[in-house]
Amino acid sequence: MAQFALVIDLNTCVGCHACATNCKEWNTQAAFGPLSDFDPYGKEPQGVWYNRIMTYEMGEFPNTQVFHLPKSCLHCQDAPCVPVCPTGASYKREQDGIVLVNYDDCIGCKLCSWSCPYGCREFDEADKVMKKCTLCIDRIYDESLPPEHRKPACVLTCPAKARFFGDIEDPNSEVYRVIKERNGFVLFSDAGTNPGNHYLPRTETKVHVDEHLLKHDNPLFLEVLRRHHVGG
Amino acid sequence: MHPPISLIWFFLTAGVSIGLFTFTYFMEFLILFGKNTAMPRQAVIISLVISLILIGLGAIGASFHLGHKMRAWKAIKRFHTSWLSREAVFSGVYGFVLFLYGLAYYFNANPFIQHSLGILTFVLGWLSAFSTAMIYASNKFVLEWNTSLTVLYYLNMYLMLGSSAFLSLTYFYRPEFIPTYLFLTFLFVSLGLAFRIAFNIRQFIIPRPTINEALNLPHNRPIRVLDTGTTTNNYCTEEFYYKKGKDLLGSVLPVAYILTFIVPLFLIVYAWITGNYNYNFFKIAFASLVLGSFLERWCFFVEGNHVQNLFYGLYPEEGYRLRKGYMERKKTVIRL
């Protein structure tokens, strides 16, 4: 069975938020819009986003790495949000594995978001329905677009080309190849949801701090030296 | 988890309704075995009317947590997979069959019809309660809820509410049953206390996932959340991490314990031992139980930690490091 999904290269993603911004832009105006904003000029502007970018720091100083994790609906192969929906508004398409919400059937009970371990569904307080990434289904099947544009908005806009889109079950697809070649992994693999979206792991680099590279007026100079010599 | 007041309201109304009907019909059912347990007609009718009104109010109240109330009927569509759908169907049919049973009782219908409807109402009521409990217990991403204890405790709470409500009826209509219902209320409240303590103790011993597991990264890599993409809260942080509630939990939980268990147990044991069947005791015990159950359910929601909070660093294992705004600078301590 086909499973359309995104593959995101964590080495290349620079956390510029272009994918999230273009996602919001496209999905606000297109078939699945709008994605409401609340208090946009106030102290705490909020809004519905299909895609959010988290930034994490891994390791211990000075051997730390920062990586950015764009997170949208992972279109799980065993999507836990689908069976809990009491109306059938949340469903998984057999032909391409995309998980969608039928806004006309959604009663806004929020149970699907409760059963998603990734926090990838958001309730739109303006429309009173649950919203989530559609993998830009309105773009990828739009035959009026040139074939190279039939991709999700986030993939098209990524300036670092960190995002791939395709059928992860098709051995001839680019996404299948990069997952296999570069050990693509999924979030929360123990959750048993079998997500479609994969991430390509960062290549770890070891930072060696030489004393002559350090500036003596660095307030952390002594700390770096101590850790370097002690090995802490 | 953010506590939806409408769901707590449904718990209380459905709990009293199903619990009260259970004991009302139980007394009728025993008559079939030649026992002299028939409640006066007026008492049964009062009890059935209260049960019917409460389940109706519960259904109306529960719909307030829905985004689209007028589409609530669509909730019956996924009966085969969704516990919420099953709850909607069972509680709706319970209310309808309860109404039919009330009519059959009022018009003195054939005993076979009466008891068939009574048994059916009883079964439907408890299936509805079970389905509601399973909505929480089957959610494997809120580990505090994901246990059979949630179901046992939930069903026991219905019995607590029902037996203490029925105690008042026995006071007015069959005083000779007061000791029996004092014992039953004592039994269910004590069991409730035991389940609640077990529920709380379990929270300390359940193995929890870490942010490394959420991000599928090696366990030996310390990971910190630097930025969650937005400078304010969003739907996920507000729905799954209720900061105000977390701050209040330490004060509310002891009050919930006192009102739900300690006050009713004290009054009931006192009445039971001294034989002083003062109606005020039963009234206060029931009121305390209802108010305490409201707070207890509130705590139940707030105590639930959804694993999606791991991505925001808002999980018990992570020590709830981040605060509202996420942009607070952490204090850097440099030891030389």
- Examine the pLDDT at B329 and tell me if it is beyond 60: no
Say if the Cβ atoms of A58 and B217 lie within 8 Å.
Answer: yes
Band of residue B126 on the pLDDT scale cut at 50, 70, 90: very high
pLDDT at A159: 95
Neighbours of B244 (CB within 10 A): 10
Query: Please, which residues 65-124 of chain A have a Cβ atom closer than 8 Å to chain B?
Result: 66, 69, 71, 80, 82-89, 105-111, 113-119, 122-123
Neighbours of A29 (CB within 10 A): 11
**Smallest Cβ distance to A115: which of B67, B141, B217?**
B141
- Examine the pLDDT at B74 and tell me if it is beyond 70: yes
Measured on CA atoms in the order B313, B316, B321, B324, is the torsion positive or negative? positive
Query: Please, which residues 172-211 of chain A have a Cβ atom closer than 8 Å to chain B?
Result: 185-191, 199
Q: What is the nearest CA distance from A132 to chain B, expressed in angstroms? A: 12
Q: Over the stretch B11-30, which tens digit does the pLDDT of each residue have?
A: 999 999 999 999 999 999 99
- Residue reference for tokens 């607590």: B160
Q: Does A40 touch chain B (CB under 8 A)?
A: no
Q: How many residues are listed for chain B in this entry? A: 336
DSSP annotation string for A128-193: TEEEE--TTHHHHT-TTS-GGG-S-HHHHH-TT--EEEEETT-TTSHHHHHHHHTT-B-TTGGGS-
A132 Cβ neighbours under 8 A, 6+ residues apart:
A50, A72, A73, A99, A100, A101, A120, A121, A122
Which of A105, A110, A100, A115 has its CA nearest to residue A130? A110
pLDDT at B331: 46
pLDDT at A232: 47
Work out the angle between the directed axes of helices B83-106 and B41-62 (0-180°, nearest 10).
150
Q: Chain B contacts of A86, Cβ < 8 Å?
A: 74-78, 82, 84-85, 88
Mean pLDDT of B238-259: 93
Q: Over the stretch A183-198, which tens digit does the pLDDT of each residue have?
A: 999 999 888 899 999 9
pLDDT at A2: 92
- Examine the pLDDT at B155 and tell me if it is beyond 70: yes
Q: What is the nearest CA distance from A113 to chain B, expressed in angstroms? A: 8
- Examine the pLDDT at B327 and tell me if it is beyond 60: no
Say which range, A23-37, A135-149, B123-137, B149-163, has the weakest mean pLDDT. Answer: A23-37
pLDDT at B38: 86
Q: What is the nearest CA distance from B320 to chain A, expressed in angstroms? A: 16
Interface test with A, best of B73, B220, B231, B236 (most A CBs within 10 A): B236
pLDDT at B6: 95
Instruction: Give the span between the Cα atoms of B294 and B255, in whole angstroms.
Output: 11
- The percent of residues above 90 in pLDDT, for chain B, comes to 75
Question: Distances from the Cα of A74 to the Cαs of A4, A12, A92, A187, in angstroms?
Answer: 10, 19, 12, 9
Band of residue B336 on the pLDDT scale cut at 50, 70, 90: very low
Residue with the larger pLDDT of the pair A78 and B232? A78
Task: Name the residue of chain B whose CA is nearest to A222's CA.
Answer: B336
ipTM score? 0.89
pLDDT at B196: 96
- A98, A88 Cβ separation under 8 angstroms: no
Task: Look up residue A115 and give its DSSP letter.
Answer: T
Q: Chain B contacts of A198, Cβ < 8 Å?
A: none
- The percent of residues above 70 in pLDDT, for chain B, comes to 94
- Residue reference for tokens 């705590």: B299
Say if the Cβ atoms of A107 and B71 lie within 8 Å.
Answer: yes
B155 Cβ neighbours under 8 A, 6+ residues apart:
B126, B129, B130, B133
Instruction: Give the span between the Cα atoms of B97 and A178, in whole angstroms.
Output: 59
Q: Over the stretch B101-110, which tens digit does the pLDDT of each residue have?
A: 999 999 999 9
Mean pLDDT of B210-220: 87
pLDDT at A61: 76
- How many interface pairs between A and B have CB atoms less than 8 angstroms apart? 172
Say if the Cβ atoms of A223 and B216 lie within 8 Å.
Answer: no
Tokens of A25: 């832009």
Q: Over the stretch A12-54, which tens digit does the pLDDT of each residue have?
A: 999 999 999 999 999 998 788 889 999 888 888 889 999 999 9
Low-confidence stretches of chain A (pLDDT beneath 70): 204-219, 221-222, 224-225, 227-232
B35 Cβ neighbours under 8 A, 6+ residues apart:
none
pLDDT at A231: 56
Tokens of A118: 């990734």
Q: Chain B contacts of A191, Cβ < 8 Å?
A: 140-141, 307
Band of residue B220 on the pLDDT scale cut at 50, 70, 90: confident
Which of A10, A190, A47, A66 has its CA nearest to residue B225? A66
The b-or-e profile of B117-127 (16+ CB within 10 A means b, else e) is bbebbbebbbb
Interface test with B, best of A21, A64, A74, A114 (most B CBs within 10 A): A114
Residue with the larger pLDDT of the pair B77 and A30? B77
- Residue reference for tokens 């620079």: A14
Q: Chain B contacts of A219, Cβ < 8 Å?
A: 334
- Give the SS3 label for residue B233: coil
Say if the Cβ atoms of B215 and A119 lie within 8 Å.
Answer: no
Tokens of B302: 């707030």
User: Exposure of A19 by Cβ count < 10 A (0-12 exposed, 13-18 middle, 19+ buried)?
Assistant: buried
Task: Name the residue of chain A whose CA is nearest to B224's CA.
Answer: A57
